[in-house]
A and B are shown apart, each in its own frame.
Chain A
Amino acid sequence: MTSVETKKELNDEFSGIKYILTSGMRSKLLLAMYGNRKNLDELRNELKKPSATILHGLKELENINLIKKVQKYYELTSNGYLLTTNMVKLIENWYAVNKSKLFWNSHDLSGIPDEILNDVYLLKNAEYVTSTTSDLSNAYNTYIKLISKSRELKIIFPIYSESLLKHLIKLLKGNNLKKLELITNEEIFNSINANDTFKKELLNNKKVKIKCIEKKLKIFLTQGDGFMAMTLFFKDGHYDDSQVLIAKDSNAQKWAKMLKKIY
């Protein structure tokens, strides 16, 4: 048997989540009242459970001061509102990664700091594009098409890819791209510098700003006009260009902006 002390330590360490999250009734009631106060009839219709069950759940939540009854209506207390807002965030966080399970589960996430990962719900509208055996460069081509119309690109650039660099140069010579910002590390910077064409067209180009940082880069992140795109590395350290996560909504762009700020 695990000792009583160890059990108590464990309970303290993870206190506060079990009571709410493991009861379908309690969490559903909180979610039902989130945004709007409800009376018993409304709750019964929404949760499709008998009054007795619902009243029991309501009593439990009232006892821990998460909800209160005002006349015939049940509503969240201020504590209940804070907790439920954060529970919604948790559910949305899980939803966002669950939706692109294959993408998230096959990659090394160490390039995304915890505080940014905690806001991954902002990516709930993101979709990932994957290469298939019949189209090995589907992800890459989708990405290239995406960046081609942008007037401004900000890229965390963790790999030395000649084909991508060549494409960026092509875009810089075209009419659309006015500003290119690259964040990279010394190793990759030196490789770019060692290539005469890249040196001339990128390093000596007024439209291009390159920032070198010492951190190990484990993420390929692009911010462009109205989109963000992200590719990651496999757990074994290899770069994966076969899957790219793309989002065009403002929340995802906000997420990318927060992430870039850290680098």
Chain B
Amino acid sequence: MNINNDINNDMKFLAKSEIRLKILSELNNGPDNVRGIVKKTNITYSSVSSNISKLEKNNYITKVDNKYYINPMTQVYFKTLMDFKNSVQIVNNYNAFWNKHNLNQLNISAIKRLTDLKNSELIETTPIDIYKTHNTIKDQILNSTNIHAIFPYIHPEYPKLIEEVLENEGSVELIVPQSIFKEMTFRINENIRKNAIRNGKLKVYSFKKDLNLYLTICDENMSLGLFKNDGSFDQNRILISTDIKSCKWAKNLFEDVKKEVR
């Protein structure tokens, strides 16, 4: 992929100076004059003034009646640049979660919307609490009526958890690899299982290819787990979130993986 020269120059010009970005960030909230921006940002008058004239000269902002207005296209540039910044922050903030992990199961649209995971929390096990990740997920599941989950392996407690949700009139939709499909299904109590399947409360899909992802979406939260590059599941880290955007992100990912089932 090549970057078009115009865009390359715009990008360099805007990203190079934090002062210009700050000025644009203020003008993005509403028009203002040099003095107003100086007051809001604590940047010196001379810096604001010289950068404002550079921005104006290059058509990023326009002066009308003594006030500067951000041009609509600059608005798009600025907002998408901040979106990129947020995605870089998510990579850095959860470095231990992504680093040396297999991302094959995350599709492009999920990665392009990485910023939806902004308000997530990284849960890591500690030597004094080695079941922290599992227990966090267990709590989420037990406090929920509707579960969507991708389980790449069977934890001995899962069948029991699923039974409990179903017994409380809840519904469960699962995607599991073909290799554990039978085990997972038959370990759920037969009566509960048959009843739930008949009533459409339990759906289990068998995934034919490798399934390198752990995902749960409960009523009010989601959790995400990854495999390491060496092929083993990383039981020590999960990313969880109660944010609506994150839950939506997870649900979209679930639906995309589900499409690969058939």
**Which residues of A are in contact with B by a Cβ distance under 8 Å?**
1-3, 6-7, 10-11, 13-18, 20-22, 24, 27-28, 31, 34, 65, 77-79, 81-83, 85-91, 93-95, 97-98, 101, 104-109, 114, 117-120, 235
Provide the bound-state CA to CA distance between A119 and B108, in Å: 13
Query: 8 A-B contacts, Cβ less than 8 Å apart?
Result: A15-B85, A15-B89, A17-B81, A21-B15, A77-B100, A94-B80, A101-B73, A119-B112
Across-interface contacts of A118 in B (CB, < 8 A)? 79-80, 83, 115
Per-residue interface assignment for chain B, residues 16 to 36, with 1 indicating a CB less than 8 Å from any chain A CB and 0 otherwise? 101101100100000000000
In the complex, B130 has a CB within 8 A of chain A:
no
In the complex, B92 has a CB within 8 A of chain A:
yes
Provide the bound-state CA to CA distance between A123 and B257, in Å: 25
Provide the bound-state CA to CA distance between A201 and B97, in Å: 58
Per-residue interface assignment for chain B, residues 65 to 89, with 1 indicating a CB less than 8 Å from any chain A CB and 0 otherwise? 0000001110111011101110111
Contact B4 A82 (CB under 8 A): no
Contact B16 A22 (CB under 8 A): yes
Max chain A Cβ within 10 angstroms of own Cβ: one of B42, B80, B108: B80
Which of B77, B88, B102 lies in contact with A86, CB distance below 8 A? Answer: B88
Across-interface contacts of A101 in B (CB, < 8 A)? 73
Q: How many chain B residues touch A (Cβ–Cβ < 8 Å)?
A: 54
**Given the known A-B contacts A78-B101, A82-B103, A95-B4, are A10 and B19 also in contact in the complex, defined by CB atoms under 8 Å?**
yes
Across-interface contacts of A18 in B (CB, < 8 A)? 15-16, 18
Contact A14 B85 (CB under 8 A): yes
Across-interface contacts of A109 in B (CB, < 8 A)? 72, 75-76
In the complex, B57 has a CB within 8 A of chain A:
no
Given A16-B89, A20-B88, 14 other A-B residues pairs in contact with their CB atoms under 8 A:
A6-B41, A10-B22, A22-B15, A31-B3, A78-B102, A81-B111, A82-B87, A82-B90, A82-B111, A83-B88, A93-B76, A94-B11, A94-B80, A98-B6
Contact B1 A89 (CB under 8 A): no
Provide the bound-state CA to CA distance between A20 and B12, in Å: 10
Chain A binding surface, main DSSP class: helix
Provide the bound-state CA to CA distance between A78 and B111, in Å: 11
**Which residues of B are in contact with A by a Cβ distance under 8 Å?**
1-4, 6-8, 10-12, 15-16, 18-19, 21-22, 25, 41-44, 47, 71-73, 75-77, 79-81, 83-85, 87-92, 95, 98-103, 108, 111-115, 229
Across-interface contacts of A119 in B (CB, < 8 A)? 112-113
Closest A residue to B75 by CB, please name it.
Answer: A109
Contact A13 B80 (CB under 8 A): no
Contact A2 B98 (CB under 8 A): no
Provide the bound-state CA to CA distance between A235 and B112, in Å: 30
Closest B residue to A68 by CB, please name it.
Answer: B100
* Chain A nearest CB, measured from B72 CB (Å): 5
A-B contact count (CB 8 A): 147
Contact A21 B112 (CB under 8 A): no
Provide the bound-state CA to CA distance between A112 and B234, in Å: 40
Which of A3, A13, A17, A91 lies in contact with B7, CB distance below 8 A? Answer: A91
Max chain B Cβ within 10 angstroms of own Cβ: one of A28, A89, A109, A120: A89
Across-interface contacts of B98 in A (CB, < 8 A)? 78-79, 82
Provide the bound-state CA to CA distance between A81 and B105, in Å: 13
Provide the bound-state CA to CA distance between A201 and B102, in Å: 57
Which of A17, A79, A82 lies in contact with B15, CB distance below 8 A? Answer: A17
Which of A2, A6, A17, A31 lies in contact with B85, CB distance below 8 A? Answer: A17
Provide the bound-state CA to CA distance between A17 and B76, in Å: 16
Across-interface contacts of B85 in A (CB, < 8 A)? 14-17
**Given the known A-B contacts A17-B85, A104-B73, A105-B72, are A89 and B112 also in contact in the complex, defined by CB atoms under 8 Å?**
yes
Provide the bound-state CA to CA distance between A36 and B19, in Å: 36
Provide the bound-state CA to CA distance between A31 and B8, in Å: 13
Contact A1 B91 (CB under 8 A): no
Which of A6, A83, A105, A108 lies in contact with B87, CB distance below 8 A? Answer: A83
Provide the bound-state CA to CA distance between A56 and B3, in Å: 21
Closest A residue to B69 by CB, please name it.
Answer: A235
Which of A7, A11, A85, A94 lies in contact with B112, CB distance below 8 A? Answer: A85
* Chain B nearest CB, measured from A183 CB (Å): 21
**Given the known A-B contacts A3-B42, A14-B21, A94-B11, are A87 and B84 also in contact in the complex, defined by CB atoms under 8 Å?**
yes
* Chain A nearest CB, measured from B119 CB (Å): 14
Contact A78 B100 (CB under 8 A): yes
**Given the known A-B contacts A3-B42, A6-B42, are A82 and B11 also in contact in the complex, defined by CB atoms under 8 Å?**
no
Across-interface contacts of B79 in A (CB, < 8 A)? 114, 117-118
Contact A89 B84 (CB under 8 A): yes
* Chain A nearest CB, measured from B59 CB (Å): 8
Across-interface contacts of A90 in B (CB, < 8 A)? 80-81, 83-84
Contact A98 B21 (CB under 8 A): no
Provide the bound-state CA to CA distance between A86 and B84, in Å: 6
